[in-house]
């Protein structure tokens, strides 16, 4: 399978290394984030993988969708545009998979957090908060993965109604607010945790990435799956769709 990469930063380079170490896949092209990208830029590719930044991704998206090549997106920070992106995918008859984190370990963590939030919702004595740590070069906060975990908690909880990324200076946190704390530290690849507390005990569910290889490998596998879906069922997909099929 031939992959065209958009973005040659740390994640793009890691994806390239994973593809080049595989006997099944090959790198078709690597496009710089500042390149003039058109639909023709993707001719001959089977899958596009985008790890860039928010503004570059949104600027290049029309060309990627018009190319007819399935698109895997690991770029974060554009969740506020997700409905608009879904509409663009549908208009183009395209296929796009988005995940803030393609690591299989992280996605197992997310499903575990969702189940824990569902269970503690039946017991008023439990409270829950989330935290995340990343390297100081990461521009957005909370991380896309933390926001995904937060949405899962909100969906599973009848008590938590909104996300609180910064503690207010003039009041206490409300019981219906879900705190998501962010730390930017050194070269941390990524740490995410759910903290559950009651008067009698504490539960911590956590995931720590030891390298970017897990993210890159998951993106490559997701690309292969998306290419298979594209012919019969084009559309907007997430890692949940991928895992649901694998685990069914």
Question: Which residues are designated catalytic?
Answer: 134, 138
End-to-end, the C-alpha distance of the chain in Å comes to 25
Query: HSE on the CB side for 73, CA within 13 Å?
Result: 28
* Burial class of residue 101 (count of CB atoms within 10 Å of its CB; 0-12, 13-18, 19+): buried
| Of 23, 34, 28, 35, nearest in space to 49 by CA | 28
Q: Do β-strands 177-184 and 162-164 pair in parallel, antiparallel, or remain unpaired?
A: parallel
CB 130 within 8 A of CB 194: yes
The count of other CB atoms within 10 Å of the CB of residue 161 is: 12
- C-alpha–C-alpha distance, residues 130 and 205, integer Å: 10
The count of other CB atoms within 10 Å of the CB of residue 47 is: 28
């Amino acid at each position: 399978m031939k992959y065209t990469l958009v973005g040659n930063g740390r994640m793009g380079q890691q994806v390239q290394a994973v593809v080049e170490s595989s006997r099944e896949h090959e790198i078709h092209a690597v496009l710089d984030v500042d390149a003039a990208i058109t639909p023709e830029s993707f001719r001959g590719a089977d899958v596009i993988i985008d790890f860039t930044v928010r503004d570059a991704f949104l600027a290049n998206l029309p060309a990627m969708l018009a190319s007819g090549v399935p698109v895997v997106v690991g770029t974060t920070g554009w969740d506020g545009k997700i409905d608009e992106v879904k509409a663009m995918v549908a208009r183009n008859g395209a296929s796009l998979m988005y995940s803030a984190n393609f690591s299989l370990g992280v996605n197992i963590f997310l499903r575990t957090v969702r189940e824990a939030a569902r269970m503690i919702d039946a017991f008023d004595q439990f409270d829950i908060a989330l935290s995340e740590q990343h390297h100081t070069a990461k521009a957005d906060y909370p991380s896309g993965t933390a926001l995904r975990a937060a949405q899962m908690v909100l969906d599973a909880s009848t008590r938590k109604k909104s996300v609180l990324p910064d503690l207010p200076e003039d009041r206490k946190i409300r019981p219906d607010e879900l705190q998501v704390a962010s730390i930017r530290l050194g070269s941390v690849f990524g740490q995410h945790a759910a903290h559950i507390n009651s008067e009698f005990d504490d539960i911590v569910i956590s995931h720590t990435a030891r390298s970017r290889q897990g993210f890159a490998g998951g993106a490559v596998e997701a690309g292969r799956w998306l290419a298979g879906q594209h012919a019969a069922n084009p559309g907007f997909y997430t890692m949940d769709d991928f895992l649901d099929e694998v685990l069914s």
